Amino acid sequence: MSASDFFRVAAHTKTSTQLSGLPSRGLAIVAQYFQYDRFLTLLQKQRYQTCFDVYGNNTIEWSSAQKERYASFVDQLKKTMASHGQFGLIQMEGNSALYPDQYRIYSEIAKLDLVRTVCETGFNAGHSALMWLNGKPNTVLYSFDIAKHSYVMPMVRVMKSLFPGRLHFTPGDSTESLPHFIKKNPHVNCDLVVIDGGHSGIVPKLDFENLKKMVIPGSLHMLLIDDLPSSNSVIKNMWNEKLRSKEAEDLFHCQRMGQEKYGKGFTIGKFLFYR
């Protein structure tokens, strides 16, 4: 994150906070910035061959309560898949839990203080949603999914029971549901944006453009795009177009272990609000 980004955040804070609240609020912003900067420095300090190489292990450091929630999620997922005649992960659409090295990095992102409001396209069975909500007790998730699979809505209910009041789910085509949601909820501002919905046609491009509207210009935020790097030309071309037009910046990307020959992984970036 550049110094200009940080000072834009400070300027926004100064205009939106009463004078009496500036010291503690200012310290919180500074702490968030340096924590975020340390995290990015770790990711960027060398050229990693795979996502696994970042930490050298796939161990997620969770408390006993976090582990219990994860175990409950897995148990309910198995029951849901069995009731829909889909046993095991092989019949399920691809998900982040299939790649432990990516899941490990997700767990570290979820712990960042700046990540309080997550906006994500692509709920599927809730694997990444679990990671965002299980990271900290104050994180809220706004999730958008077309809900074409029979297991999606049952797993939404599971997640809502595990994290009461913290998951806000909107079913439907994100190219239509996102603009409607933004119009009805202008107060929702995202710290972490996750693009992992439709991978074809104009969907990735519109998800990018719509979700960008939910981020305060100049604020501390993170953009995460799944399946990028990828052999999927739609996502790849969309991202390259946004980089060329200076609508986004690529901060880090890695390939999942075992997916190197396919060039598949995920990317961390940020939105740019100047042209």
- Max avg pLDDT among 8-17, 27-36, 79-88, 154-163: 154-163
pLDDT, residue 250, reads 96
Report pLDDT for 46. 80
Mean predicted confidence (pLDDT) in 131-156: 96
Question: Higher confidence at residue 252 or residue 13?
Answer: 252
pLDDT tens-digit series, residues 160-183? 999 999 999 999 999 999 999 999
Mean pLDDT of the chain: 87
What confidence category does residue 9 fall into, taking pLDDT thresholds of 50, 70 and 90?
Answer: very low
What distance separates the 2 farthest-apart alpha carbons in the chain?
59
Cis peptide bond upstream of 229, omega within 30: yes
Q: Check whether 115 has a pLDDT greater than 90.
A: yes
* 23 confidence band (pLDDT: 50, 70, 90): low
Could you tell me if 120 and 196 are in contact, meaning their C-beta atoms sit under 8 angstroms apart? yes
Q: Which helix (H) or strand (E) holds 26?
A: helix 22-44
Q: How far is CA 275 from CA 4, 6, 242, in A?
A: 15, 18, 11
State the DSSP string of 186-244: TT---SEEEE-S--STTHHHHHHHHHHTTS-TT---EEEEET-S-S-HHHHHHHHHHHH
- DSSP state, residue 195: E
CB-based burial label for 197 (10 Å; 0-12, 13-18, 19+): buried
The number of folded domains in the chain is 1
pLDDT tens-digit profile of 61-86? Answer: 999 999 999 999 999 999 998 887 65
Distances (CA, A) of 58 to 36, 87, 131, 251: 21, 25, 14, 22
Q: Which helix (H) or strand (E) holds 225?
A: strand 222-226
Q: Quote the domain boundaries for residue 265.
A: 3-271
CATH of the domain at 183: 3.40.50.150
